Amino acid sequence: MHRQPLLVVLRAFDPLELLPALERLEALGVGHVEVAWSGHPHWVPAVQQLRQHCAGLALGAASVVDCSGLEAAAAAGLTYAVSPVLEHTLVERARQLKLAFVPGVMSPTEVHRARLWGCPLVKLFPAAPLGRSYWQRLAGPLAGGQGLPHCIAAGGLGPDDVEAWLAAGVDAVALGGALVDATDWEALARLVERLGSR
């Protein structure tokens, strides 16, 4: 993510429905894509197929809220999983599975707990209602000689928000429901080009 501080989150009950969007993202040069975990009975083999077909993408699991989602992500060969919540059981199970885990945080208490539990990376969610200055406002009160974890801002952000949030101090931005029409995809293409020239 140091080279491209951007993630795209895709959702479908059947992950194979995401193949056209994944191909398009890969062609645009997007590097990191999260595939939302679902209860689809063939989620694991479907995601394995997506990994093989789009080998240029670093795929992870999104919306993981229980251990079955973590286990499915590991079984599918994914390298990371992202959650909207902070749950100690998930942190520990991901560690056992050797899966990078990004918990969701919002309050100062959640950020502090994530840091205590050894999470080097967190997801600020939902980011849009908090405002882009929120993360840096936590830096002083929570510093304590350790500094804040690395942060992915997610929730309600679109391609035109990414650079301002990065400038405000987050380390990466995740785009979820923002890619709904041609204008959004065009904005994403321009963004990827700008990020590549940084």
User: Residue 131: enclosing H or E segment and its boundaries?
Assistant: none
Average pLDDT over residues 52-58: 96
Quote the pLDDT of residue 3. 82
Give mean pLDDT, residues 124-147: 89
What does the domain layout of the chain look like in residue ranges? 6-196
Looking at 66-80, 136-150, 157-171, which range is the least confident one? Answer: 136-150
pTM of the model: 0.94
Find the mean pLDDT for residues 179-196: 91
pLDDT value of residue 146:
74
The residue with tokens 């830096």 is 139
Residue 142: pLDDT band (50, 70, 90) is: confident
DSSP string, 98-162: T-EEE-EE-SHHHHHHHHHTT-SEEEETTHHHH-TTHHHHHHHHH-TTT-PPEEEEESS--GGGH
pLDDT tens sequence across 83-104: 999 999 999 999 999 999 999 9
Structure tokens at 70: 């973590």
Question: Residue 71 corresponds to which amino acid?
Answer: E
Domain spanning 6-196: CATH 3.20.20.70: yes
pLDDT given for residue 139 in this prediction: 87
CA–CA gap between residue 12 and residue 35 (Å, rounded):
8
Task: Check whether 62 has a pLDDT greater than 70.
Answer: yes
